Amino acid sequence: ITGGRSNATITKFILLGFSDLPKLKSALFVVFLGTYLSTVMCNLGLIILIRIDPYLHTPMYFFLSNLSLLDFCYVTSTTPTMLSGFFQKPKSISFIGCAMQYFCFSSLGLTECCLLAAMAYDRYAAICHPLLYTTTMSPSLCVQMVAGAYISGVFGSLIQLYAILQLTFCGPNIINHFFCDLPQLLVLSCSETFFLQVMKFVIAVIFGVASVLVILISYGYIVATIWKISSVQGRSKAFSTCASHLIAVSLFFGSGLCVYMRPSSDISQNYDKMASLFYTVVIPMLNPLIYSLRNKEIKDALKRSKKRCVSYCHC
C-alpha cells in the first residue's frame, strides 16, 4: 500500500519527515530538539513571569500569556512527532491519529489568528482611547475575547475534522512531511475533495484574511493617532508598544497564508515543508523573544524577579 493506487483502504500513513536528508539526520535532530526545548522554556517562563509579577497584570500581558500558552501547545502538537521520526523507520501514524493531530494543530493555529486580532484591538484601545482604556478593556471583556478565540478555533477545526473523517485513502500512503497537514491529506485522498478544498479556503479567509483586516484597520487608526502626537519621544514610545506585535503578526500570517491559501494541486512539498517548519517550530520560539527583548516592562519584571530570588536565597 505504499506504492501506487490500490483497492485497499489505507488505515496508516508513513511520515517521511526529513528522511531525504540522511547525512544531516543527527545535526537536524540536535537543532530541532534545542529549538523545541528553548521554545518550551521561553514560553512557560514568560507565562510564569506574567503570573507572578503584579505590574504585568494588565490586558496586554493577559493576551501575551495566552499567546505563549498557544505557542507552547502549538509546537508540542508537531515537534515531538517529528523528533521521534529521526529514530523510527518508517515513522507510521494511524489515520485517526493523523486526523486528531491535524485537529489539535489547526485548533491552535486558528485560535492564534483570533488572539492576534484581539491583541491588535487592545493596542488600538490603549493608544487611540487611553482615558477609556481601563473601562474598555475590562477583565471580563478580555476573558470573553480569549474564550471566544479558543471556541472559534475549536469550532473551525471540528468542521474540518468531520470532513476529513469522511475521506477514503486507497494509496499511496506516504506523506512527504513531518506532521499530518491538510494539504498533504487532500493530495493522497481518492475521495472527491472539492468540498474540503473550498472549506479550507473559506476557513483561511474567515480566520486568516478577516483577522488580518481587523489588525490592519486597528493599526490604521493607531498610525493616524500617533501621527497627531507632536512629541517625537511620544511617537517613538507609542510605536514601540506596537512593533513587537506587528513583527509577530507578519511572521505568523505571512508564512501560514502562503500554505493554506494555495490550492492543493499547486502544492510544492519541499516548499510547504520549509514554510510549515517556519511557522510551527521557529515562530513559537521567536515570539517570546520578540516581546521580551523589545519590552522594557518585561525586562523590569525580570529584574524584580531576580531580586526576589536573591533575597529569598539569602534568607
With 80 as the cut, is the pLDDT of residue 9 above it? no
Across the chain, mean pLDDT equals 85
Segments in the chain forming alpha helices (H)? 25-52, 59-76, 79-85, 95-128, 133-136, 139-165, 182-188, 194-203, 210-227, 232-260, 269-277, 283-293, 296-314
CA distance 194 to 186: 9
- Contact by Cβ (8 Å): 185, 98: yes
What is the per-residue pLDDT across 56-109, written as a single tens digit (0 to 9) for each? Answer: 999 999 999 999 999 999 999 989 988 888 877 777 889 999 999 999 999 999
Domain count along the chain: 1
Average pLDDT over residues 158-179: 88
With 70 as the cut, is the pLDDT of residue 171 above it? yes
With 50 as the cut, is the pLDDT of residue 204 above it? yes
Q: Which three three-digit cell numbers place residue 208?
A: 486568516
pLDDT range class, residue 312, cuts 50, 70, 90: low
Region of poorest pLDDT, from 161-175, 222-236, 276-290: 222-236
Name the residue range of residue 218's domain.
Answer: 12-314
Q: Would residue 2 count as lying in a domain?
A: no
Q: Would residue 4 count as lying in a domain?
A: no
With 60 as the cut, is the pLDDT of residue 237 above it? yes
Q: Would residue 155 count as lying in a domain?
A: yes
With 90 as the cut, is the pLDDT of residue 37 above it? yes
Q: Would residue 243 count as lying in a domain?
A: yes
The residues facing 157 across adjacent strands are none
- Kindly tell me the burial class for residue 199, based on how many C-beta atoms sit within 10 Å of its own C-beta (0-12, 13-18, 19 or more): middle
The residues facing 15 across adjacent strands are 91, 175
pLDDT at site 24:
83
* Residue 245: closest CA among 209, 212, 281, 208: 212
Q: Would residue 49 count as lying in a domain?
A: yes
Q: Would residue 53 count as lying in a domain?
A: yes
What is the per-residue pLDDT across 271-309, written as a single tens digit (0 to 9) for each? Answer: 667 778 888 888 899 888 888 776 788 888 888 887 777
Q: Would residue 65 count as lying in a domain?
A: yes
Average pLDDT over residues 242-249: 83
Segments in 228-280 forming alpha helices (H)? 232-260, 269-277
What is the CB neighbour count within 10 angstroms for residue 281? Answer: 21
Region of poorest pLDDT, from 20-34, 119-133, 230-244: 230-244
Q: Would residue 70 count as lying in a domain?
A: yes
Kindly report the CATH number assigned to the domain that includes residue 131. Answer: 1.20.1070.10
Average pLDDT over residues 192-207: 86
